[in-house]
Structure 1
Amino acid sequence: MRKVFLSVALTLSLLVHGQARWNQQYQSYIDQYKDVAIEQMHRWNIPASITLAQGLFESGAGRSELATKGNNHFGIKCHGWTGRTVYHDDDRKGECFRAYKSAYESYDDHSRFLASSQRYASLFKLNKRDYKGWARGLKAAGYATNPQYANKLIEIIQLYKLYEYDTAKKYDKTLAKHTKDNSVYGAALHPIKQFNKNYYVIARRGDTFKSIAKELGVSYRRLARFNERDKDDILEQNDIVWLKKKRSNAPKEYKNRMHYVKEGESMYSISQYYGIRLKSLYKMNHLKPDYQIQVGAALRVR
């Protein structure tokens, strides 16, 4: 049908002697899109592992030209498409590819594309846990011309244990909604992470509470308040930005553990790290707000 964009995918998968090696870019992509893949599995009966593996491989973990310019994570060409398009050299120069408002639309169209084509009908007779059968069936049906396509998908699934998502009975709707709501062409979403029964993102260079709030569809004033900051405060790269009100203490596993203060840390940065309110950190350690933090000091976080 078309060839896979090997230059991007193989570089990012760090292939060594034909074997894929774990890398953070792939894992970040999985964290960002796993809930969408599970949602699609529940709707269309396509294994979440297959969807994720194809998205990873076809888009180079979201960094291919088609993904960044057109939110196209699966390399699907136009073929009667009436929406926005982008052009890319593939089997021939300047071929027409589908473009989407968001990565979510790409995931949804990928499911519809497979489910509506007679060429892939036999795959839907397979068990959702049979990711090997799906991978080989996609190659046999002509999804890609790369002779190693099925093996590469299977490698990715096994390396990142994506098969575990094929038995998921539910998914995080907040994370799926985040991907669905973003409608800026070429925009790289802030991956939403989870900790302490809350959600957070990591600020990038140039981020503000306004810019992050706009992406998330929330009030920037509330976002700043959740993080115990002024709405006009300047965010630094790698700042943690919590998306809901922080909790009064750290998770249960920290009950008998202490945090030992490191160079450059503050009471506030520690409270952000654990997703707990600053006043709670002072209170549980019987400290006053004018306490001068010392490197090596032991602090309770629960």
Structure 2
Amino acid sequence: MIKKIVLLLVILALASCSSSKPAIATTKKAAAVQKPRVAATKKPAYSKPTAKNHPSTNNTTEVIQSTSKTVVTSDLINNYILQYQEIAVGNMKTYGIPASIILAQGILESGAGRGDLAVEANNHFGIKCHKDWLGESVRHDDDSAQECFRKYPQASESYRDHALFLVGKNRYAVLFTYEKDDYKAWAKGLRACGYATDPNYPDKLISYIERYNLHQYDCQVTGKTYVAINKTAPTRSSTSVANSDPKINMNSYDPNLYEVQKGDTLYSISKKFNLLVDDLKQKNNLTDNAISIGQRLRVK
């Protein structure tokens, strides 16, 4: 009995010793993955780029006052010239109006394409409706309130109508007796014939022609060598295609064109080139039989 008691005490003592051992954690700790450090950089503040004037460019600002008051820069005027120079040269070849005058009038009358009439009606020459106009129109204040002005589907139509307007009106016939590249005579003649009421109209046209070297486009047609008046304005070299005679006949170097001479009619020209009058009118976009001395007609 005593032995059993002693054995029981020994067992209890051993159990007591084993239960007093500290517990050991057996959970596996996941190895931490160290992320690479990224150096924080401060984003520079955005600064709006400023326009730098080219050393050879003087982008001046001016106000063009014609059918509307328009503020333009010399860069805008140069862009306008580049956009319409080919049309002006083509009209000079076809109708006999100096390209320099066409471009100068376009700049002045349309505010270099930024004026109200140019934007709203593609009217680049301030041409009013008149009684013979059958196309669309817009109302605009000019010499009187809400006058009727012609509206075109595109600017090129305005350039064409400007040429037809000068060629087709008897009051402008005297213009076509001037030398083809005499822009000063044309500028003064337009005012004298009643194109504009502004007494300074000729001076304004001549100013644009000489400031922007527009006479170079006349020389492209006449074949004369152009000498720049304004040395800072861009010029295009003019290759001589004939000689320097100001009375040169255009068809002497372009067989597709014929220059109207004194006494010519559409009928006589059509017979000369074995054409029908209607075909001749169609080739040259003519709406009537009116032609002028010096006018170039496409005959082939």
User: If the length of structure 2 is used for normalisation, what is the TM-score?
Assistant: 0.51
Q: Give the unaligned 5+ runs of structure 2.
A: 1-64, 223-300
Question: Please, which of 162, 183, 188 is the counterpart of residue 110 of structure 1?
Answer: 162
Instruction: Provide Cα deviations, 1:20-59, integer angstroms capped at 9, x if missing partner.
Output: xxx1010000000000000000100000000000000000
Question: Please, which of 195, 207, 211 is the counterpart of residue 143 of structure 1?
Answer: 195
3-state SS, counterpart of residue 108 of structure 1: helix
Q: For residue 6 of structure 1, report the CA deviation from its aligned partner.
A: 5.6
Q: Which residue of 2 aligns with 1:98?
A: 150
Q: Which residue of 1 aligns with 2:213?
A: 161
Residue 118 of structure 1 aligns to which amino acid in structure 2? N
What is the CA–CA distance in structure 1 between the aligned matches of 2:101 and 2:88, rounded to whole Å?
9
What is the CA–CA distance in structure 2 between the aligned matches of 1:74 and 1:46, rounded to whole Å?
14
Q: Which residue of 2 aligns with 1:24?
A: 75
- Note if 1:134 corresponds to 2:186: yes
Residue 139 of structure 1 aligns to which amino acid in structure 2? R
Kept in 2, the 8 Å contact 1:4–1:144? The answer is no
- Note if 1:12 corresponds to 2:63: no
3-state SS, counterpart of residue 217 of structure 2: helix
Q: Which residue of 1 aligns with 2:140?
A: 88
Residue 12 of structure 1 aligns to which amino acid in structure 2? V
What is the CA–CA distance in structure 2 between the aligned matches of 1:60 and 1:4, rounded to whole Å?
8
Residue 49 of structure 1 aligns to which amino acid in structure 2? S
TM alignment of 1:1-302, pairs within 5 A: 4-5=66-67, 7-8=69-70, 11-12=71-72, 23-79=74-130, 80-169=132-221
What is the CA–CA distance in structure 1 between the aligned matches of 2:159 and 2:75, rounded to whole Å?
21
- The percentage of counterpart residues that share the same residue type is 51
3-state SS, counterpart of residue 126 of structure 2: coil
Q: Which residue of 1 aligns with 2:10?
A: none
3-state SS, counterpart of residue 93 of structure 1: coil
Kept in 2, the 8 Å contact 1:132–1:154? The answer is yes
What is the CA–CA distance in structure 1 between the aligned matches of 2:67 and 2:135, rounded to whole Å?
23
Instruction: Provide Cα deviations, 1:100-125, integer angstroms capped at 9, x if missing partner.
Output: 01110000000000001111100001
Residue 7 of structure 1 aligns to which amino acid in structure 2? K
Residue 72 of structure 2 aligns to which amino acid in structure 1? L
Residue 68 of structure 1 aligns to which amino acid in structure 2? V
Q: Give the unaligned 5+ runs of structure 1.
A: 14-22, 171-302
Q: How many residues align?
A: 157
Residue 89 of structure 1 aligns to which amino acid in structure 2? D
What is the CA–CA distance in structure 1 between the aligned matches of 2:97 and 2:117, rounded to whole Å?
23
Distance change in 2, residues 1:86/1:6 (3 Å): closer
3-state SS, counterpart of residue 168 of structure 1: helix
Residue 208 of structure 2 aligns to which amino acid in structure 1? I
